[in-house]
Every structure is written in structure tokens, then in C-alpha cells.
Amino acid sequence: MKVTKNLDGNVYTLAVEGRVDMLNSAEFQRETESGVSKLTGKSGTFVIDFADLKYISSAGLRVLLACHKQMMGISGKLSIINVIPSVMEIFEVTGFSDVLDIKEKA
């Protein structure tokens, strides 16, 4: 997994490349927690760009749910963008597409 981070005002973007699974979910969690901390007090938006994400496991899904709850706790928003069809299917099957703001790759 490779991540790229960018803070622009009250929008923090985390672009994730590769896979998020049991082997690197702790690192993914550290990255999301770091992003949430940068938005604390800003009522900002945390954007996770999955354009180059090939797979996400249940461990990665748990991190996303925790991030969503943390963002709600600081009156912010989590938005997941550029999701490829195979990853979107995982979100749909698990019901995450009904809970999170997720947009497929155009």
C-alpha cells in the first residue's frame, strides 16, 4: 500500500494505491487517524481517493467505519471517491455503500 496526503484548507485528501488488507490495515488506520487530527476543529472534509486501490479487506472496511465515526465526532465529513467497480462491489455487498459517501470512478 502506498499513500499520498494533501491538506488544502479544510479538505484533507488521502490517495491510496495497491491493497488494504490485514497486513497493512494498522498503517492505513494510522494514516486515517492522522488525517482526522489535521481536520479537528475545522469541520472539514476527509477525502479518500481509491482510484488506484485494487482491493480492500474487512480489516480495511473496519478502518473506514472508524474514520467515518471520528469525522462525525468532529462535525466533519468522510467522502470516498474514484472507486473501481470491483472495490465498489465489496462496498455494495457489505452495505457500506448505504452508510458511507462513496462515488465510483468515472
Q: Which position has the grid cell 473496519?
A: 62
How many Å apart are CA 34 and CA 54, to the nearest integer?
23
What pTM value is reported for the model?
Answer: 0.95
Domains of the chain (ranges, CATH numbers) = 2-104 (3.30.750.24)
* Conformational region of residue 46, where left means phi above 0, alpha means psi within -120 to 50, and beta covers everything else: beta
Q: Per residue in 8-52, pLDDT tens?
A: 999 999 999 999 999 999 999 999 999 999 998 888 999 999 999
